[in-house]
Amino acid sequence: MAPWLFYLFAVISVVSSLGVVGQRNPMYSVLLLIGSFISLAGLYVGLDSPFVAVTQIVVYTGAIMVLFLFVVMLLNAPREDVAPGPRLPIPGAIKAYGVALAVAMAAMLVWALSRLGAVPFVDDPQAAARVASVRDIGVMLFRDHAFAFEVTSILILVAMVGAVVLAKKTV
């Protein structure tokens, strides 16, 4: 994958994720997250995995994010983070502590990964063809992981029923 393309998608996804976390308006957060997901799909295409890229767009941006969008619109989510009732003011110190913790975790991960030594991708067209073949994915999914596949279908059914029951108005 051309380096400039990788950096472009990486920058878009990081900046969008920062926007999701920092943005006050939940509607903008959802849309920025959609932007982040699309750039991740671009990264998957660069990793010779077009099937995962398209599945990411269909499942994540096409379904899960639409659900988030509907909930944000339905609840008319307030723009500011206010906590009514028993007033628990969050002093700036606690937020700064949270940021420091996250930055510390990022620093630890970066340090650990930098000690790995540069591991270049095998520029082997055979490896790329093996990974990109949708037929292999299908065979492995339905033969080796058939049980997990069926269990996820039950999981989705349970989630659907649970969501309908939890969100129903009990009037």
User: Residues near 49 by Cβ (< 8 Å), separated by ≥ 6?
Assistant: 131, 132
**Any residues with CB less than 8 A from the CB of 68 and at least 6 apart, and which?**
30, 33
Alpha carbon distance 37, 53 (integer Å): 9
Site for another protein in 8-27 (CB under 8 A): 10, 13-14, 17-18, 20-21, 26-27
Query: Which member of 63, 91, 92, 93 binds another protein (CB under 8 A)?
Result: 63
Residue 93 makes contact with another protein by CB under 8 A: no
Determine, following the binding rule CB under 8 A, whether residue 150 of this chain makes contact with another protein. no
In the window 112-131, what residues touch another protein (CB under 8 A)? 113-114, 116, 118-122, 124, 126-128, 130-131
Nearest alpha-carbon partner for 61 in 49, 53, 51: 53
19 contacts 29 by C-beta, under 8 angstroms: yes
**Contact between 162 and another protein per CB under 8 A:** yes
Q: Is residue 36 a contact residue for another protein (CB under 8 A)?
A: yes
CB of 157 to another protein, least distance (A): 9
71 binds another protein (CB under 8 A): yes
Q: How many CB atoms lie within 10 A of CB 17?
A: 17
Residue 159 C-alpha from the chain's centroid: 19
Phi and psi, residue 41, nearest 5°: -60, -40
Check binding of 73 to another protein (CB under 8 A): yes
Selected binder of another protein within 85, 92, 143, 147 (CB under 8 A): 85
Residues binding another protein: what is the number (CB under 8 A)? 106
**Rule CB under 8 A: is residue 166 a binding residue for another protein?**
yes
